[in-house]
Amino acid sequence: MTIRAASLILLFGATLAAAQCAQVHIFGARETTAPPGYGTAASVVSSIISAFPGATGEVINYPACGGQASCGGVSYASSAVQGVAAVASQVNAFNSQCPNAVLVLVGYSQGGQIMDDAYCGGGDTNEGLSSTAIPISAAAQKKIAAAIFMGDPRHIPGLSYNVGTCQASGFAPRPTGFQCPYASNIQSYCDAADPYCCNGSDANTHQGYAVEYGAVALTFVKNKVNALLSGGGSGGGTTTVGTTTPPSSPTGGSVAHWGQCGGQGWTGATACQAPYTCQAANAYYSQCL
């Protein structure tokens, strides 16, 4: 009797805890053959979690395989298609449970490819994904503040969200002229020496993005998440809009390379560190470039 009552209390407590939603939730997808977890994106994911009190993280549950025995022999194409479906179902499930939470996507290599496909749509004929629809629900799409792709094989030159020295295509490139409807929420990191997102031959470059770009990726994500948390509309019910809080550094030259420096609703610093200048990507987003 006592034990039963205690279990009921525990069950009730668990239900209450589940109903308490984090304000910010990060999804991370690892690269091919990395063991289950966030893979090489781990430090990026944890830096974002640490930046927002109470933020939570979630691993995308997919094979992350390219035919190797160590990951079950699942082909790259099958793994990627399963990965896109996993991103959509996990993001949609979380959004249904926590509709006000602001979401961030982080994907490394194949993990970047599945985040790219799930968030931007357009299909992925390289892997046999023929549907061009965005599989993430319309409601969840609105809550995604930022997406970070590192070493994404879908890289092509010329996209507004490309960061790094790569001027060529990855091994599973987007078609020429591709546009992602969420371009202003994305940073895609790829350097010329990378053999997977670019046409280089140095695998170490491919594995180095979390170290090379982790800090600028975090700055980008913080700015985008804060903008969605404090922006009007349906977002961030518990956040106070900072009309009385001055920007962290209102004097000139405080925004780092790639950081946000303007756009409709932006209340943060607007002056870029030398030698960068503030350039408008669209009405809602300007960046130090």
- Per CB under 6 A, does 234 bind ligand NAG? no
- 247-276: contacts with ligand NAG (CB under 6 A): none
> Please, which of residues 198-227 interact with ligand NAG by CB under 6 A?
199
Q: Is 100 in the site for ligand NAG (CB under 6 A)?
A: no
Q: Indicate which residue of 78, 96, 109, 184 is catalytic.
A: 109
H helices within the chain, ranges in order?
Answer: 2-19, 42-51, 76-97, 110-120, 138-143, 203-207, 209-230
50 as an active site residue: the answer is no
* 251/271 Cα distance (integer angstroms): 8
The Cα–Cα gap between 73 and 282 comes to 44
Rounded to the nearest whole angstrom, what is the least distance from the CB of residue 113 to ligand NAG in the complex? 20
Residue closer to ligand NAG, measured from CB, 95 or 205: 205
Cβ closest to ligand NAG, residue 7 vs residue 167: 167
Closer of 77 and 168 to ligand NAG (Cβ): 168
> x/- string (CB under 6 A) for ligand NAG, residues 155-174?
------------xx------
**Crossing angle (nearest 10°) for helices 42-51 and 209-230:** 30
Peptide linkage before 157 cis (omega within 30 of 0): no
Those residues whose C-beta lies under 8 Å from the C-beta of residue 3, and which sit 6 or more positions away, are: none
> Reduced to 3 states, what is the DSSP secondary structure of residue 73?
coil
Total of chain residues touching ligand NAG, rule CB under 6 A:
3
Catalytic residue positions, numbered: 109
Q: Which residues bind ligand NAG (CB under 6 A)?
A: 167-168, 199
